[in-house]
Chains A and B, each alone.
Chain A
Amino acid sequence: NAGVTQTPKFQVLKTGQSMTLQCAQDMNHNSMYWYRQDPGMGLRLIYYSASEGTTDKGEVPNGYNVSRLNKREFSLRLESAAPSQTSVYFCASSLAGGELFFGEGSRLTVL
């Protein structure tokens, strides 16, 4: 059972480089989310997609863009990476109002 799959698991970027984090879920969930986790800050919502074709900003959207490619896939793009974006990124999915299922995370370092 794959659940929520994120790629890559690790990435090192230089300031100004761009990259895309990929996320796919196989649970037929409507909602998908991108969070970042930083020490002492908990999980902060970057963007979410309540259903295929819709995306909305979360708490910390600046510097990021997202694409809900289809019901299964939700990608997060950093157009010009900054050191402040060094973090662990988690993708999650859910049915409305229920449990969130998380991926194992993507650890990004921006030098």
Chain B
Amino acid sequence: QQQVKQSPQSLIVQKGGISIINCAYENTAFDYFPWYQQFPGKGPALLIAIRPDVSEKKEGRFTISFNKSAKQFSLHIMDSQPGDSATYFCAASASGGSYIPTFGRGTSLIVHP
């Protein structure tokens, strides 16, 4: 059973465009939703995270939108750049449990110059 479903699996965007990656979760106990960015040959690193008390969080060109009723959250990358080309993972965890995050399967983003 996949608790966090991520789509699309791959995404190709032109420089300057908007990249959108979506995730849906099932466990209503989840209350921490981070996004990780992974460059080839490296480990994932935290990009941005949100808790369900807000519907949106923005850090520079990266925005998380959160819809609690639909149990969905998404990452928007504005003005996408070739340097954004990476694999992106959404995740979710529950503070009431052991905080173990469940990851989506990842999205490979390619931004063409």
Interface size class of B (residues with CB under 8 A): 20 to 34
Contact of A97 (CB < 8 Å), options: B9, B32, B36, B41: B32
Interface size class of A (residues with CB under 8 A): 20 to 34
A92–B36 Cα distance when bound, in Å, is 13
With both chains docked as a complex, state the minimum distance between the C-beta of B64 and any C-beta of chain A, in angstroms: 14
A25 CB–B CB distance under 8 Å: no
Q: Which residue of A lies closest to B97 (CB)?
A: A97
A48–B100 Cα distance when bound, in Å, is 8
B contact face: mostly helix, strand, loop, or mixed? loop
Number of A-B contacts defined by CB within 8 Å: 52
User: Among residues 72 to 104 in chain A, which have CB atoms less than 8 Å away from a CB atom of chain B?
Assistant: 90, 92, 94, 96-100, 102-104
Which of chain B's residues have a CB closer than 8 A to the CB of A31? 99
Measured CB to CB, the residues of B under 8 A from A are 6, 9, 32, 34, 36, 41-46, 49, 89, 93, 95, 98-101, 103-106
Measured CB to CB, the residues of A under 8 A from B are 4, 31, 33, 40-45, 48, 50, 56, 58, 90, 92, 94, 96-100, 102-105
Besides A31-B99, A58-B100, 16 other A-B contacts (C-beta < 8 A): A33-B100, A40-B106, A42-B89, A42-B103, A42-B106, A43-B44, A43-B89, A50-B98, A56-B98, A92-B43, A94-B99, A97-B99, A98-B99, A99-B34, A100-B46, A105-B43
